[in-house]
Amino acid sequence: MTLRIGVIADDFTGATDIAGFLVSAGLRTAQLNSPKHAPENLDADAVVISLKTRSIPAQEAIEQSLGACRVLRQLGAEQIIFKYCSTFDSTAAGNIGPVTDALLEELGEDFTVVVPALPVNGRTVYQSNLFVHHQPLHESGMKDHPVTPMTDSNLLRLMEAQGSGTAAPVPFAIVEQGPDAVREALDQARAEGARYAVLDTLNHDHLDTIGQATTGLRLLTGGSGIGAGLARALTGQSVQQDQAEAPDPADHDAVSPAEDWSFTSGAAVVISGSASQMTNRQVQAYSAHAPHTALDIPRVIDDAAGYLAELSSWVLDNSTSDDAAPMVYATAAPEAVRQWQQSYGAERLSAAIEDFFGQLAARLRSEGVTRFIVAGGETSGAVTQALGVDGFEVGPQIAPGVPWTRSLESDPQRRIDLTLKSGNFGDPDFFRTAVQMSAGQSNNDQPNNGQPDAAQQEEDR
């Protein structure tokens, strides 16, 4: 069996995001939470390795990404995708540029593509500028991100500032002409000395064109959209099929068909550590529906042990309704986040909150909680690592890019269900939809069965 695609994801929500799309495009996909957990005989078309390298020092991100790349190559991966955020989340020092350069060198290549677009979630690239719905990236909620505020929308500039080479644009007029024109543009950019090509991407068809034009590249970089485009190019599946049909994973242990998916019956909890605009709305909407408590940040810093015991009792005491799981959240408006950061220091505070959520999740698991709904990429990484989950089976999507997953366990009794939601993904009712889905209730009465609603998306703008 040939492993076609190996993915190195720089955070955990990003990993489940792309894994969900690879599964939807018909690839038998395994997701591992560390290169250490690669089984010797893996029968899959794609393997996604989740790292937590988005905002760590660049050198560490490089080392971990190279480690993952080597494992994927040992497994036989023909093409590597470096998956980063559809909003290009990165610090001034990287890590997207430095990791891309290191992977190019590792693979003996000198050229790759930059494709963060995910049109189904409003992320498009036009004239090399990244948009979040109608706003350029630097005017979107990403300008206020607590860890990786994005203040430039121009991907050529961002890539050249972070990486070691020059970036060339491939404008949408060329992408519109189809795969041959894109291949030609890529060959020309490379011949003229560019190291990165930034491809305009306005819609699904563009992703498919880019996927078809890049089946010969050893390294691709971008969001889950390029994963979907490449996977569809390899399986010959159309966008329409992808959206209409579940994959047929019957012959593969690491993927379960959405319709056969079942959930554990233990208690559920919502843990929200994202401070994104959409998560703020989701927390607000869910607060009207379920028991909720905002994290007491001074206690996280000064009295973590006592607070942990208190909060886990609160969660268990409030786990009375199957479809209204309790929610603990750090999520706050940008001004409040800035004030907390001024008081405690941004890095220290982020690490303390993530660590606290990780410990809380581990404690709740030991007390019988088995369904975890987590918001925020860094937060999800901390929670998943603290739960000691080695890998996932990828299940039904709650919203585009947000599937339910379950932990791979040698002892099925230890299995837990998790969904890891990227900060800005999902509609305002996401938490309720996720909880109800996992409580075995029909999701059919939710608008568009968890897909974003056009009117709602318009309102979100």
Ligand X SMILES: Nc1ncnc2c1ncn2[C@@H]1O[C@H](COP(=O)(O)OP(=O)(O)OP(=O)(O)O)[C@@H](O)[C@H]1O
Does residue number 397 form part of the binding site for ligand LCNOYBR7 (CB under 6 A)?
no
Task: Tell me the one-letter amino acid at 352.
Answer: A
DSSP string, 178-195: -HHHHHHHHHHHHHTT-S
x/- string (CB under 6 A) for ligand X, residues 276-305? x--x--------------------------
Residues 130-143: b if buried by 16+ CB within 10 A, e if exposed: bbbeeebbbebbbe
Does residue number 116 form part of the binding site for ligand X (CB under 6 A)?
no
Is the Cβ–Cβ distance between 241 and 298 less than 8 Å?
Answer: no
Does residue number 11 form part of the binding site for ligand LCNOYBR7 (CB under 6 A)?
yes
Q: Which of ligand X, ligand LCNOYBR7, none sits in contact with 277, Cβ below 5 to 8 A by type?
A: none
Q: How far is CA 448 from CA 262, 396, 427, 451, in A?
A: 21, 14, 11, 5
274: left (phi over 0), alpha (psi -120 to 50) or beta: beta
Task: Tell me the one-letter amino acid at 214.
Answer: T
Does residue number 377 form part of the binding site for ligand LCNOYBR7 (CB under 6 A)?
yes
Q: Which of ligand LCNOYBR7, ligand X, none sits in contact with 45, Cβ below 5 to 8 A by type?
A: none
x/- string (CB under 6 A) for ligand X, residues 228-267? ----------------------------------------
Q: How far is CA 212 from CA 180, 227, 231, in A?
A: 9, 11, 9
Q: Which of ligand LCNOYBR7, ligand X, none sits in contact with 47, Cβ below 5 to 8 A by type?
A: none
Residues 59-71: b if buried by 16+ CB within 10 A, e if exposed: eebbebbbbbbeb
Is the Cβ–Cβ distance between 315 and 369 less than 8 Å?
Answer: yes
Does residue number 160 form part of the binding site for ligand LCNOYBR7 (CB under 6 A)?
no
Question: Based on the number of CB atoms within 10 Å of its own CB, is 302 exposed (0-12), middle (13-18) or buried (19 or more)?
Answer: exposed
H-helix segments, 85-147: 96-106
In this chain, which of 95, 221, 422, 438 binds ligand LCNOYBR7, going by CB under 6 A? Answer: 422
Whose Cβ is closer to ligand LCNOYBR7: residue 29's or residue 312's? Answer: 29
x/- string (CB under 6 A) for ligand X, residues 368-397? --------xxxx------------------
Does residue number 273 form part of the binding site for ligand X (CB under 6 A)?
yes
CB of 376 to ligand X, least distance (A): 2
Whose Cβ is closer to ligand LCNOYBR7: residue 122's or residue 428's? Answer: 122
Does residue number 274 form part of the binding site for ligand X (CB under 6 A)?
yes
Q: Which of ligand X, ligand LCNOYBR7, none sits in contact with 17, Cβ below 5 to 8 A by type?
A: ligand LCNOYBR7
x/- string (CB under 6 A) for ligand LCNOYBR7, residues 75-104? ----------xxx-----------------
> Which residues on neighbouring strands pair with residue 327, listed in sequence order?
270, 292
Q: How many chain residues touch ligand X (CB under 6 A)?
A: 29
Does residue number 460 form part of the binding site for ligand LCNOYBR7 (CB under 6 A)?
no
CB of 146 to ligand LCNOYBR7, least distance (A): 13
CB of 134 to ligand X, least distance (A): 19
Whose Cβ is closer to ligand X: residue 201's or residue 422's? Answer: 422
Q: Is the dihedral of CA 329, 333, 337, 339 positive or negative?
A: negative
> Which residues on neighbouring strands pair with residue 167, listed in sequence order?
196
E-strand ranges in 280-390 read 292-294, 327-329, 369-375
Nearest-10 Cα torsion for 156, 145, 428, 96:
40
Could you give the CA distance from residue 179 to residue 439 in angstroms, rounded to a whole number? Answer: 44
In this chain, which of 88, 196, 261, 340 binds ligand X, going by CB under 6 A? Answer: 340
Is the Cβ–Cβ distance between 230 and 81 less than 8 Å?
Answer: yes
E strand or H helix at 168: strand 167-170
- DSSP 8-state assignment for residue 255: B
Does residue number 401 form part of the binding site for ligand X (CB under 6 A)?
no
| Residues numbered 314-333 forming contacts with ligand X, rule: CB under 6 A | 330-332
Does residue number 13 form part of the binding site for ligand X (CB under 6 A)?
yes
Q: Which residues bind ligand LCNOYBR7 (CB under 6 A)?
A: 11, 13-14, 17, 85-87, 223-224, 377, 401, 422
Q: Which residues bind ligand X (CB under 6 A)?
A: 11, 13, 89, 145-147, 273-276, 279, 330-332, 336-337, 340-341, 349-350, 353-354, 376-379, 422-424
